[in-house]
Amino acid sequence: MELSCKSEYALLALIELSLHYSKGEPLRICQIAAEQAIPDRYLEQLLATLRRAGFVKSQRGAKGGYLLTREPWKITLLDVVSCIEGFEAKAKEVKSPTTAEGAAVWEVWHEVRQGAEAVLEKYTLQDLVDQRNARQQVDLMYYI
Amino acid sequence: MELSCKSEYALLALIELSLHYSKGEPLRICQIAAEQAIPDRYLEQLLATLRRAGFVKSQRGAKGGYLLTREPWKITLLDVVSCIEGFEAKAKEVKSPTTAEGAAVWEVWHEVRQGAEAVLEKYTLQDLVDQRNARQQVDLMYYI
DNA sequence: ATTATACTCCGGTTCTACAGTGGGGATTAC
DNA sequence: GTAATCCCCACTGTAGAACCGGAGTATAAT
């Protein structure tokens, strides 16, 4: 379970799309990239992955861009992260330990992974949006 | 928090040392490497790191090898992993999020990390040794 | 139909870290 | 002294992350 910059970019983009979800209008890559300070050509690759996985759909041509295919509260962070970090995560898990010591270590590794997945599964995109709004509320209070 | 092959090798080596801890005799790199199927020249580097961090001490010359400096139940897996995965983990954490969305993601990342650390802190080398022994017991029962 | 927009696919580059290898030197037991 | 063993430095190979560019193509606005 990697928590790389890649996953973070993907999540930020999806949060941005969640914020515009109710409008129903597509959001351009360059808009998302500018808002979240992500290199746009890199974000393009990530959105392509997310599109192939069915999280977003694209609308080509003028006034085009990306849209969420599901409601923000129906996409968990685990969905996104495991999509971005690749399906070969399974292959890594299959490597069977050769020694009794290896098996003991493997069990702990597995527990750590399960814990991480449990946390990521607990939150949806909507939760992050709400958290963001709450944070901005706090910032506003400080401003006053 | 990486759970790479590197950390696994280091843990396996320390478990091996824990098994011989009561004997008080040093264990050679090549013995550990052979037992756990680890490339010996690579293990040497990891043990050097563990030595500099104070988990093991070395005895040079003929009949030399490595010894644990503390009792196996006084070393948690978190101690080992955070030593091996490097101190620059802190540097990665310091990267402050620039947007409200980034802060929301960062909080989740932090929670995942805390969860992983909690699991790793829960177990000591002795726990893994006990787990190994229990597993071998089961294997023995199947054998009979 | 034209045109601008913007996605799609192809490739390449740079950088970093991991994983593993090798040589020469230092230290200690015997 | 000799053999055994650790110590240090440097090196290669591979993989992945992050990023950049360009040519092509689909779509919608006009």
Report ipTM for this prediction.
0.89
DSSP label at B76? B
In DSSP terms, B65 is beta-bridged to B59
Give the CA-to-C1' distance from A64 to C18 in angstroms. Answer: 41
Give residue numbers, 19 to 48 of A, with CB < 7 Å from strand C: 26, 28-30, 44, 47-48
Q: What is the CATH number of the domain that holds B39?
A: 1.10.10.10
Q: Is-contact A58 A64, C-beta < 8 A?
A: yes
Give residue numbers, 62 to 101 of B, with CB < 7 Å from strand C: 62-64, 85-86, 88
Residue among B36, B101, B109 minimizing CB distance to A15? B101
Class of residue A62 by CB neighbours under 10 A (exposed 0-12, middle 13-18, buried 19+)? exposed
Question: Above pLDDT 70, what percent of chain B?
Answer: 90
B102: chain A residues, CB-CB within 8 Å: 8, 12, 36
Q: Token digits for B2? A: 């990486």
Give residue numbers, 76 to 135 of A, with CB < 7 Å from strand C: none
Please count the structural domains in chain B.
1
Integer Rg of chain A from CA: 18
- Measured distance CA(A63)–CA(B45) in Å, rounded: 56
How distant is the Cα of A24 from the closest Cα of chain B, in angstroms?
Answer: 20
A58 in contact with nucleic chain C (CB within 7 A): yes
CB atoms within 10 A of CB B64: 13
CA distance readout (Å), A64 to A4, A22, B140: 29, 16, 65
Give the tens place of pLDDT for each residue, B47-103: 999 999 999 999 999 999 999 999 999 999 999 999 998 754 545 555 667 788 889
Amino acid at A62: A
Give the tens place of pLDDT for each residue, B72-83: 999 999 999 999
Task: Write down the pLDDT at residue B46.
Answer: 97
Cα A109 vs. chain centroid, distance in angstroms?
23
Task: Write down the pLDDT at residue A88.
Answer: 47
B109: chain A residues, CB-CB within 8 Å: 3, 8
Helix, strand, coil percentages (3-state) for chain A, rounded to 5, are 70, 10, 25
Range of the domain at A66: 5-143
- Measured distance CA(A89)–CA(A85) in Å, rounded: 8
